[in-house]
Structure 1
Amino acid sequence: MQKINKINQYLLEKYPTVWNTRIVWMLLASAVLHIFFFIVGYISHADPVSLQKMNVKDDYFREGMIFIHLIISVLMMVGWLIMMFKNNAFKNFYPSSKGKLFLQFVQYFIIIFAGTTFYFSYMTGFKLFIKNKYPDQEMTENINVINKANAFLSQDLEHYTLDNRTFPKFYDLYCETDINKIDRNQKYFVYYNRVYQFYNLYSKTVYKKDKYGDFLFPSGETEKNLAYEENKKGSKTYYFKKDVVDMSPYINTTDLTYYNFSDVFYSDDYSGKDYLRMQYSGEELYDGYNQTIKDSYKKKRFEINRFTTDLLNKKNPVEIEKLLKSFLDISKKFGINNNLDSKSWVKVIYHPNDFNVRYFIKKYKPLPDEEYDVNNVPMDEDGNYIYTKTVTDSAAAVVDGEVVNDSVQIRDFNPDIDNQLSPAEYFKNNTTDYYYYSDNLQNLLNNVDLIKSTDFFSENIHIYIWIAFFLATIIFSFRITGLKSLLFSVISAGVLFLAVVLVTVLFSASSGRNGIEFFVSYFVFFIGLAILLLPIVMMKSLKKLIASILINISLNGFVLFVLLIFFIINIHQEESCEQINIMSYDCPTIIKTLGFNLSYIILACGFIFMYLYTSVLHKWKAMPN
């Protein structure tokens, strides 16, 4: 305690402003708490099961840490203000230069920022743990094994139908599955109520758009002949069916078979990770970005189908078992709930005559006396929902041999359909008691990559910056003008807001909504300009209370005034774009161009204003009461 008193005495004598703001002790306390939150973040997800739910990056808010954060921050701020408000040099007319006043404000900002940003320490610890626990090289190897072994999980019959085949000669072909678009004069393949026909394609690229911003459909082509389309940067490519290709030499059966499997369980390349990050953060995908992902995914599907085909053709159960054992070892490390063992699993898979899918594995463990429903969304022991993909009941689409909503009868393609078992019934009858929580594995991989790739600082820093800035301006206003002036300022600002709303409503009622953005923006702009200029040019003509109200509104509202200026520029740019028929989403406005950098620009303007405005504060303080 004696040491603390000595430090305080030294600060009081040498740096009175620093002593008064208690910044040294507040930063020290904040540093200790930041270390605490870092440690909590580092150990918070040590159990891999905690990563098996969706969006664990939001656990800070969902699991209650935010409340601890808020309680600590509030207690710190209240204690700090109580200590600081004991002394006020400016209020008691102690000599105070512009620099000292501005330095006080900066210290307020730093103290509040340091005492409210524990989230970043928590997430830094969390991210560091994930990087250490799940290193990139090891995860790449694990994901490679997972993608290969996933072919044998057989949890979704849709992954084993003929239209999934990509190897060896299927890569550039299009598989038509719409029964109304099948050419019955050409070779096609039938599996129960499903029909497959393979086409090669030709493409046409369009660069022109209509007035709504949509790419034009190629002239001379029909929608019926369209296979699919791809958006690229500045263009759109349409792919049309050309000729039917007979793939009989490569198709031994149209039943469900492991030879058809090509699904990618998880993509760990940079495009996949970037897409995942953008998907979770809500960022817009630029033109052609989806196509980049699609191309990468298509290549991965081909490689998985090729690997699976080669592995099956070897007809070596030992090699298959080795792959499955590696997969289960990874699953054990990740804490994935399952009851599989490699030896029994191989017996379920290994039927070398055709490698048809004879048995299916459940996605979750049903409760006692509960019938397994692949469409059910159960809850695990921790109360977390396990989201499963839906398997379509293909039999439900058939009524008396006729496909609902289709004009062609399925019996025309498959006369024996009444004597065959539907895919849904086949799936139900051949589902084993084995289970594997594959969705939990998917969530874990997603979360690991998301935590690694997300820049939590850049995404959230602006919230904390502006919380700190506005709280600092309020405290600074209170220290300069006192509580009475601050309260009158709040009331005055509220009255002005109501007046603006009332005038806006009257304008809208009399003139309609056309031009209302410009009217409101300029109306508020001139009100704000008057509030800013009056204390500067007419200080001596104003009463001290009135001047203090204008000063407080200026101190707390200047950054909003700067934002308003940018907004006015923005709406003028949008109007110019409309005049030359540029869609709003393509209009390069100043706000879109600057993005989050606008926040830093306005913040810099705010600090510069605070420094320059201190001379006005001195003039106000010198006014008689």
Structure 2
Amino acid sequence: MQKINKINQYLLEKYPTVWNTKIVWMLLASLLVHILFFIIGYLSHLDPVSLQTRTVRDDYFKNGLIFIHLIISILMIVGWLIMMFKNNAFKNFYPLSRGKLFSQFVQYFVIIFASTTFYFSYMSGFKIFVNHKYPDSEMKENIDIVNRSYPFLSQNLELYTLENRLSPQPFYDLYCETEIKKVDRNKKYFVYYNRVYQYYTMYSKKSYKKDENHEYILPDYERNKGIEAVKSDRNENFETFYFKKDVVDLSSYIKNTAPSYYNFSDVFYENKFSDQNYEDSYYTGYNDYNNVSEGDLKSRQAEINRKTSELLNKNNHVEIEKLLSQFLNISEKFKIRNNLKAKEWTNMVYSPQNFEVRYFIKTYKPEKGEKYNPNSSSYYSDRENNEVAEAAAIAVDSAAASYVDENGTIVDDSISIKEFNPEINKQISPEKYFYNNVSEFYYYQDNLKDLLNNVDYVKSEDFFSQNIHIYLWISFFLSTLIFSFRITGLKSLLFSIISAGVLVLAVVLITVLYSFSHIGKEEYFVSQLGLLISIVILLIPLLMMNKFNKLVTSIFVNISLNGFVLFVLLIFIIISMYQRDACQGTVYDPVKGVGYEDCQSIIDSLGLFLSYILLVIGFIFTYFYTTILQKWKARSE
């Protein structure tokens, strides 16, 4: 205690402003709390199970830490204000220059910012832990093993049907038609129960024309002939449409149409650290539809398909078991719930003849007496889940056995299915095959995917830039509020708050009355009215300080000090409104059909950078406005 008194005495003699604001002790206390939150963040996810959720970024708010954060921040700020208000230099008429006044304001800002930003310390600790526990090189290797093992985690029959196959090369380049009414019966096709597959080459055409909805339209020839596009690639100035051309016989590649591991091409998780250049392989292609690269994903899917086929072609039981053992070791490390054993799992997979999918693994462990439902969802009860699953199975069969004619009528087409597959009545449906071959093994693959996603997210996400604006503005407005109280007093501040509320209410009522006039453009009216009122409020302390009594002018002073940044923001909003309206009237290309969607206002151009600009303007204004504050304080009561 004696040491603290000595430090306080030294600050009082050498740096009275620093002593008055208590910034040294507040920053020291904040540092200790920041260290505490850093440690909490580092230790919060030691258990990998805690990362097996889709909302790990919200754990700070869900687990109650935000309330501890708020309580500590409030206690620190209230305690600081109590200590600081014991010595109000301005109230006691100590000589303070403009620089010292502004220095006090800046110190208020720093103290509040340090006392409210514990979230960043928590996330820093969390991020450092994740980078240490899950290093990039190790995760890259783990994800590669997971992606290569995923084909054998047979939990969804639809991933193993023929249309998924992308390797070897012909499957990647061709289009697989699966709609029964669009299949050419006179040419080679393949059948699996009520499903038909036919492979086509494609030709492409570019379109630069748009309709009234700004969507690219089909080329004239195909549109007039009623030829449908099977896929499209959208770029900035045009869209490439692909159409079916000739049927290709792939009998030399397709030995069996039943669900097979050879058909699997799904990617379990996309590794952002991957340095493999898939464009260098023979699987190339790019699809930029709605600004999303789908060709790159297809290349990776084809790569998974190729690697799986290569492993199966080796016909090596030991090598498959080795891969699955590595996968289970990773699962054990990440604490993914499962009851798989490498040896039994390999025996389920190994079928040298065609590597058909003979057994299926559950996605979760059913409760005792509960019937397994692959469509289980938290949105349904157990009974509803079973009904949904059965309805889905019936719907699949019904959809395959019917079609919609050109008049929009649903027509029963069961006869045409029998023409494709005369033995269909003797065969088992895919849905029944799945349920008949579900094993007692289970694996929570969603938990693994959530963990990988969360690790990747925490490593790559910039938590600071995303959230810093909130804390900056909380600190700024609280600082201006405290600064106003320190200078004008509680009475003036309360009158200012009430007056500001009355003004806002008056503007709202006037705007409502204006809207009844049906003149239109209410947004322009309210913004210009707000601008006019703001200018009047700002000018009164500058030009008419002595024409009103001190209490009245204090209201204008406080509103100006606390609301100037909002005044500048209003100016930016008005400029943006006029820019957008002007742009909408001039930017239109009738050939490309491009309207004002490409217009950018000043707010759009600046983005979040506008927040920093406004903050700097707020500090500059506060610095120069301290002269007005001194003049107001110098007036007689």
Give me the whole-angstrom Cα distance separating, in 2, the residues matched to 1:401 and 1:249: 27
Secondary structure at the counterpart of residue 540 of structure 1? coil
- Amino acid in the other structure paired with 1:599: S
Aligned partner of 1:258 in structure 2 is 261
Structure 2 CA distance for aligned equivalents of residues 226 and 220 of structure 1: 12
Q: Which moved more, 1:67-76 or 1:400-409?
A: 400-409
Counterpart of 2:307, as a letter, is F
How far 1:269 moved relative to its partner? 2.8
- Cα 1:67–1:476 shift into 2, 3 Å: same
* CA distance in structure 1 between the partners assigned to 2:399 and 2:98 by the alignment: 89
Q: Which residue in the other structure is 1:157 paired with?
A: 157
Quote the residue 1:398 is aligned against: 397
Q: Residue in 1 aligned with 2:583?
A: 577
- 1:509: which partner in 2? 516
Contact kept in structure 1, 2:181 and 2:403, CA below 8 Å: no
1:117: how far off?
Answer: 0.3
1:291 deviation in Å? 5.8
CA 1:589–1:502 in 2, change beyond 3 Å: closer, same or farther?
same
- 1:45 corresponds in structure 2 to 45
Q: Point out where structure 1 has 5 or more consecutive residues left out of the alignment.
A: 273-286, 380-388
Structure 1 letter corresponding to 2:468: I
Whether 1:468 aligns to 2:475 is yes
CA contact (8 A) 2:227 2:243 kept: no
User: Is the 2:194–2:401 contact (alpha carbons within 8 Å) kept by the matching residues of 1?
Assistant: no
Asked if structure 2 preserves the Cα contact closer than 8 Å seen for 1:41 and 1:125, the reply is yes
Tell me whether 263-272 or 354-363 shows the greater mean CA deviation.
263-272
The equivalent of 2:614 in structure 1 is 602
1:261-340 pair list within 5 angstroms:
261-269=264-272, 288=288, 293-340=293-340
Instruction: Pick closer, same or farther for the CA change 1:508–1:123 going to 2, 3 Å.
Output: same
Moved more, 221-230 or 428-437: 221-230
Deviations 1:313-364 (A, max 9, x none): 1111000001000101111111111111110101101111111001000001
Q: Which residue of 1 aligns with 2:284?
A: none
User: SS in structure 2 opposite 1:175?
Assistant: strand
Q: Deviation string for 1:454-482 (max 9, x for gaps)?
A: 00000000001001111111111111111
Cα distance in structure 2, aligned partners of 1:534 and 1:425: 82
How many Å apart are 1:175 and its aligned residue? 1.0
C-alpha displacement at 1:395, in angstroms? 4.2
- Deviation of 1:290 after TM superposition, in Å, equals 5.7
What is the CA-CA distance between 1:401 and the residue it aligns to?
A: 8.1
Deviation, 1:288, is: 3.7
- The C-alpha deviation readout for 1:522-548, integer Å capped at 9, x for no partner, is 110010011011100111112111110
CA contact (8 A) 1:397 1:403 kept: no
Instruction: Quote the Cα distance in structure 1 between the aligned partners of 2:496 and 2:49.
Output: 52
1:558 equivalenced with 2:564 (yes/no):
yes
Q: Would you say the 8 A contact 1:374–1:391 is kept in 2?
A: no
Counterpart residue identity of residue 604, structure 2: K
Relative to structure 1, the CA distance from residue 271 to residue 588 in structure 2 (aligned partners, 3 Å threshold; closer, same or farther) is farther
Mean alpha-carbon deviation: is it higher for 322-331 or for 188-197? 188-197
Deviation of 1:560 after TM superposition, in Å, equals: 0.5
Aligned to 1:229: 232
Q: 1:194 to 1:400 in 2, by over 3 A?
A: closer
CA change 1:288–1:226 in 2 (3 A) is closer
User: TM-score when scaled to structure 2?
Assistant: 0.91
| Alpha-carbon spacing, 1:253–1:442, altered in 2? closer, same or farther (3 Å) | same
Secondary structure at 1:83's aligned position in 2?
helix
Cα pair 1:402 1:411 within 8 Å, conserved: no
d(CA) in 2 for partners of 1:320 and 1:486?
75
User: 1:492 is matched with which residue: 479, 482, 499?
Assistant: 499
**CA displacement at 1:270 relative to structure 2:** 6.0
Asked if 2 retains the 8 angstrom alpha-carbon contact of 1:271 and 1:292, the reply is no
Displacement of 1:393 after TM fit? 4.2
Runs of 4+ in 1 over 6 A off after TM superposition: 389-392
1:621 aligns with 2:606: no
1:426 aligns with 2:450: no
Q: Is the counterpart of residue 10 in structure 1 residue 10 in structure 2?
A: yes
Shift of 1:204: 1.7
Is contact 2:208–2:216 with CA below 8 Å preserved after alignment?
A: yes
Over 3 Å counting, the alpha-carbon distance change for 1:289 and 1:600 in structure 2 is farther
User: Against the structure 1 CA distance between its residues 291 and 505, is the aligned structure 2 distance closer, same or farther, given a 3 Å change threshold?
Assistant: closer
Any conservation in 2 of the 1:101–1:614 contact (CA below 8 Å)?
yes
Q: Which residue identity is paired with 2:542?
A: I
CA distance in 2, matches of 1:400, 1:562: 60
User: Which residue in the other structure is 2:485 paired with?
Assistant: 478
Whether the 8 Å CA contact 2:232–2:289 is kept in 1: the answer is no
Provide closer, same or farther for how the CA distance between residues 413 and 350 of structure 1 changes in structure 2, counting only shifts above 3 A.
same
Q: Which moved more, 1:389-398 or 1:325-334?
A: 389-398
Taking a change above 3 Å as real, the CA distance of residues 320 and 580 of structure 1, as seen in their structure-2 partners, is same
User: Residue type matched to 2:264 in 1?
Assistant: F
Does the CA contact (< 8 Å) of 1:18 and 1:24 recur in 2? yes
Deviations 1:554-611 (A, max 9, x none): 1111111111011011101110121024545421111111000000000000000000
Q: Relative to 1, partners in 2 of residues 1:585 and 1:451: Cα closer, same or farther, differing over 3 Å?
A: farther
Out of 247, 255, 262, the residue aligned to residue 244 of structure 1 is: 247
Q: Over residues 388-440 of structure 1, what are the superposed CA-to-partner deviations in whole Å (9 max), with x where a residue is unaligned?
A: x9999444333498336564432232222222111111100100000001000
1:268-299 C-alpha deviation (Å, 9 max, x unpaired): 13699xxxxxxxxxxxxxx9486653122111
1:177 corresponding residue in structure 2: 178
1:207 maps to 208
* Counterpart residue identity of residue 476, structure 1: F
**Cα deviation, residue 503, structure 1:** 1.0
CA deviation after TM superposition for structure 1 residue 129, in Å: 0.6
Asked if structure 2 preserves the Cα contact closer than 8 Å seen for 1:207 and 1:235, the reply is: yes
Letter in 1 for 2:551: L
Change (3 A) 1:125 1:310: same
Distance change (3 Å), C-alpha of 1:399 and 1:603: closer
* 1:622 CA drift (Å): 1.1
The sequence identity of aligned pairs, in percent, is: 60
> Gaps (5+ residues) in structure 2?
276-286, 380-387, 405-409, 589-594
Q: Kindly provide the amino acid, as one letter, of the partner of residue 320 in structure 2.
A: I
Residue 45 of structure 1 deviates from its aligned partner by 0.5
Is the contact made by 2:362 and 2:438 (CA closer than 8 Å) also made in structure 1? Answer: yes
- Look up the match of 1:187: 188
The equivalent position to 1:536 in structure 2, one of 530, 542, 552, is 542
- Report the 3-state secondary structure (helix = DSSP H, G, I; strand = E; otherwise coil) of the residue aligned with 1:248: coil
> 1: CA distance between counterparts of 2:559 and 2:66?
31
How many angstroms apart in 2 are the aligned matches of 1:469 and 1:560? 12
Bigger CA drift: 206-215 or 259-268?
206-215
The one-letter amino acid of 2:100's match is K
> In structure 2, how many angstroms separate the alpha carbons of the residues matched to 1:426 and 1:372?
14
Instruction: Specify the alignment match of 1:98 in structure 2.
Output: 98
Does 139-148 or 395-404 show the bigger shift? 395-404
